[in-house]
Amino acid sequence: MKTYLLLLLFIFSTFSLYSQKSEFEIPKLSESKSVKTDGLVQPHLDAFIALCKKYKVDYHEKLFQLTEIAVVDTLRVSPKGGTLGMLVRNDNNDVEKIIFSWMTLLDKEILKVVAFHEFGHYFLEYKHTCNDCDSIMAKMNSSYFDIIKDWDYHIEKLFIESPVYLKNQDIIALKD
């Protein structure tokens, strides 16, 4: 009985291996990069990319130059405030990561505004537009909730006033 079971196992495994070899070829791995993205940030990245497509802002090359987009617990926080997000650069001064403080998780609207702020720096080539004003690209924001109340206005402004978008408009004007 034991020999019979071993023989069946051998035949089954040989048949299984043979059929896999004949029906499937293992694809060669490409050298394409992937970006490790925190699941909490992914919906905001998806929304930002959809807007890049809408405003005809190229994002693909920059996206795959990143290695990670993550929520971390290493950004400085104090009772007076802290860093809620930042671009992390490598030794060549190239951005390799976009990180967000765990503090942004206290409210989904704060994470949304901070995510779009950091994506604005990276993909739209923004510097800060003001110290503390009613803008996604402000150095600091007294109230993220004021921006959220008029989100569509702020998003349109973020894109159409961005250095990348304005540069694209100049290129289009030169072609005409």
Cβ neighbors of 117 (< 8 A, separation 6 or more) are 85, 136, 137
Pairing relationship of beta strands 85-89 and 95-101 according to DSSP bridges = antiparallel
Q: Please, which pLDDT band fits residue 33 given cuts at 50, 70 and 90?
A: low
- pTM passes above 0.85: no
Longest dimension (CA), the chain: 84
Give 128-154 pLDDT, tens digit per residue: 999 988 899 999 888 889 999 999 999
Complete DSSP assignment for 44-105:
HHHHHHHHHHHTT---HHHHTT-SEEEEES-S-EETTEE--EEEEE-TTS-EEEEEEEGGGG
Distances (CA, A) of 81 to 43, 78, 84, 136: 26, 5, 9, 17
Give 157-175 pLDDT, tens digit per residue: 999 999 999 998 876 655 6
